[in-house]
Structure 1
Amino acid sequence: MPTGAGKSTVFTVPATFREAKLTLVIVPLAALLDDMVDRCQKLGIRTCQWSDTTQDRRSLGSAEIVVAGTWTSKNDAFRTWVKKVSLDGWLDRIVIDEATYYTHKQHSDLR
């Protein structure tokens, strides 16, 4: 499906349900990260961006969607946070955006 065809509906709609917990969206490019945060916020979904310098971890706790770049998977603080929200039962789903991007040989280190 092309860009803008509604693929993100698969995770944005469930994130708005009252009983929904956290959705973590992983994107391969910084431009996609900013765009995803903007689109979700325009839909009224409490969304924040994880970055290596995220200082206010409290905003992560109130988010319905957290968007992170693939490069954060190497960050110890990120891994610890994902493990914690998962073990605490707060993580509903992890979405890999633009999954075909990771199938190319030059990105094999991200798999």
Structure 2
Amino acid sequence: MIITAIDLIPVSPVANSAFTAKITVKNQGTVTVNGGYLDVWANQPTVQKCGAFGEQWIEISSLAAGATKTLTVNLRLSGAGAKTLRAFADSWCQTPESNEANNQLTKTYMVK
């Protein structure tokens, strides 16, 4: 499972207001798998380990070989400035993969 894109709506959220993250995941494998959970943090610059709890999470569910799926989570963040959104696919590391190091992606953004 790899994360291929993170899109924020709005691109530069306002402090203390809700915003949306649309996160696209892809099954790089050759068989259909249960993608587990996608955990998301509004501001988490540090790489997370298996079993980490995000501020928001959503079930990825079944994903065919080579298929992509875009998932949406709603977040809220206090304080203005530069932030690092982190998304972690298969955050409980339940789906065996040849590369367990590519399940996280970050997006740096500004909060007004």
Query: TM class, shorter-chain normalised?
Result: under 0.3
TM-score norm. by structure 2 comes to 0.24
More strand by share: 2
